[in-house]
Amino acid sequence: MHAHGSVLAGVALAVVSFAAPGPASAQEKVLLKENVVAGETYTIASFREMSLTFAGTINGQAFEQRQMNREEAFLGERILEVEGGSPRRLRRYYAKHRVTSSDSHTNRQETKDGPHAGRVFVLSGLGASRTADCLNDTLGPTEDRPKPGPFGRLLPGREVAVGESWEPPAHVLSWLFFDDTDETVESATMKCTLTGVEERGGMRYARIAVELSTAREQGSGSNFRMNLRGTAIFRLADGAFQEWELLGTAMMRSVAKDPSGREYRMNGEGPVVMREAREYGKADLGDEQRPPARPERPGR
């Protein structure tokens, strides 16, 4: 499941609460690596949202646009094959997969001539929301995608000291933040820094500072860029992703033509918020491949 695909504001998110950082020193090193076992089964309750607001101009006229995407899922996973501690193939059994989105916009346009010359008209609209379901699926490596488990592959796979930084591979970032389209040139960079180790309920968690930059460019001169910062939490025992919150800005430049050939130039920028949280549980997935029973909402 992609975190960025379509452009996904900050509503309350039920996330795991963590205790204050433990006494980890700058000299302590911890292993940041996925460590799953073939045949393992578990449940995942996840919640993801992304929102952004653009303010700018279309051919010189002011506009504002708000977009929101929210996704909730509850599923079971069975690890089928493992390579280097990371899942190579896995089977997903969805009990719930709901995607909702909304899109609103406001355009302010001043008439240049005619009987209403000089007057400003405000046009507003709200895009329809949608709900989508997902079928059970078997995920494995392909020619153009990394193996399943992209969040775990953000980890360096080695021991890291508090204050040390690393950069995840470009192909993992591409799967997390981009769709597959032939018309775009996509790039992403991420810097991760281990800032501390925390304990909760007898488990240890890594707190990681994240700096993310993404870019999508089309041959027509259109482009979309994001610069985000925030914090991610991973469970040390097995490298399981728990949550993150990234805040920053997005910038858009777009050039398009309508059927009559008239060119439209759009320029805008504004705040963007990305949040995701997961909770894990034990599962007993039988051969009948029925989805697990689900809670009403992740975190409850």
Structure tokens at 247: 């805040």
- 187 closest CA partner among 162, 163, 215, 211: 215
Among 50-54, 137-141, 190-194, 214-218, the minimum mean pLDDT is found in 137-141
Contact 44, 73 (CB under 8 A): yes
Structure pTM? 0.76
Q: How far apart are CA 36 and CA 17, in angstroms?
A: 24
Q: How far apart are CA 137 and CA 97, in angstroms?
A: 13
Domain range annotation of the chain? 29-282
Provide the 10 A C-beta neighbour count for residue 237.
11
- 237 closest CA partner among 292, 191, 200: 200
Res. 274 pLDDT band, cuts 50 70 90: very high
Contact 127, 115 (CB under 8 A): no
Residue 196: beta bridge partners?
A: 207
pLDDT digits (tens, 9 = 90+) for 4-14: 333 222 222 22
Q: Spell out a b/e string for 28-67, using b for 16 or more CB atoms within 10 Å of the CB, else e.
A: eeeebbbbbeeebbbbbbbbbbbbbbbebebeeebbbbbb
pLDDT digits (tens, 9 = 90+) for 147-200: 566 788 899 999 999 999 999 988 888 877 775 555 556 789 999 999 999 998
DSSP string, 264-275: EEEEEEEEEEEE
DSSP 191: E
Half-sphere exposure of 238 (CA within 13 A, CB side): 11
Sign of the CA dihedral running 47, 298, 279, 198:
positive
pLDDT digits (tens, 9 = 90+) for 54-90: 888 888 788 888 888 888 888 888 888 888 888 888 8
